[in-house]
């Protein structure tokens, strides 16, 4: 909304995600984030008066980017493709990045499980929306859950699939979603 000058905010958020990924979700301390962001602790507390606000910022940023990407994927290349198919493609692309990218979520959960509720309601709404747009419920269920599985693997950094297998999976899902 404001904060025209400071890209400090973004730097701090990025630093927090980095620290969580590299040093482990349990080592996300304010000191670590500040030094990683190249900012003094006072400066960090200036942007995020409390650790909870920091986490909240992480969540909000994540959700905002997700929503933007989703909307973009829907509007683009819409060559007769179903919304479900667009979601599958988007998610597959997300999970191809080797970085788990969102392991800060574990930090947030450890801090307070309630940080998950915005994410939960977001997903709930997404699913509800897809239900309204997908004729066959069975296809939706299978595809949505499989994508959820892919995301989970990415998050836990425990990808069991080879490149070929992932590609085969995605094409199978797209066929189901057709």
Residues that bind its own copies (CB under 8 A): 24-26, 106-107, 109-113, 116, 119-120, 123-124, 127, 137-138, 141-142, 144-153, 155-158, 160-161, 165, 168-169, 172-173, 176
> Widest CA span of the chain, in angstroms?
54
- Contact (Cβ atoms closer than 8 angstroms) between residue 26 and residue 110: yes
Which among its own copies, DNA, none contacts residue 25 (Cβ within 5 to 8 A by kind)? its own copies
Q: Which is nearer to DNA, 61 or 94 (CB)?
A: 61
Q: Can you give the binding site for DNA, defined by CB under 7 A? A: 2-6, 8-9, 27-32, 38-47, 49-52
Q: Which is nearer to DNA, 30 or 130 (CB)?
A: 30
Which among its own copies, DNA, none contacts residue 36 (Cβ within 5 to 8 A by kind)? none
Please give the Cα distance from 38 to 40 (Å, whole number).
7
Please give the Cα distance from 42 to 34 (Å, whole number).
9
* Shortest CB 14 distance to its own copies, Å: 20
For the purposes of burial, counting CB atoms within 10 Å of the CB of 80, is it exposed (0-12), middle (13-18) or buried (19 or more)? exposed
Helix (H, G, I), strand (E, B) or coil at 80: coil
């Amino acid at each position: 909304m404001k904060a025209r000058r400071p890209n400090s905010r973004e730097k701090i958020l990025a630093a927090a995600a980095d620290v969580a990924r590299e040093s482990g979700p349990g080592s996300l301390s304010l000191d670590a984030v500040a030094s990683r962001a190249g900012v003094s602790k006072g400066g960090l507390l200036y942007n995020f008066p409390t650790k909870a606000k920091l986490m909240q910022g992480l969540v909000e940023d994540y959700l905002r980017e997700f929503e933007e990407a989703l909307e973009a994927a829907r509007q683009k290349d819409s060559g007769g493709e179903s919304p479900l198919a667009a979601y599958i493609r988007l998610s597959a692309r997300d999970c191809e990045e080797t970085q788990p990218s969102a392991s800060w979520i574990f930090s947030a959960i450890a801090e307070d499980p309630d940080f998950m509720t915005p994410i939960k309601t977001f997903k709930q709404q997404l699913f509800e929306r897809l239900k309204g747009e997908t004729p066959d419920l069975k296809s939706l269920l299978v595809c949505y859950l499989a994508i959820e599985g892919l995301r989970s693997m990415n998050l836990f950094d425990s990808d069991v699939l080879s490149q070929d297998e992932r590609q085969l999976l995605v094409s199978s899902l797209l066929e189901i979603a057709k």
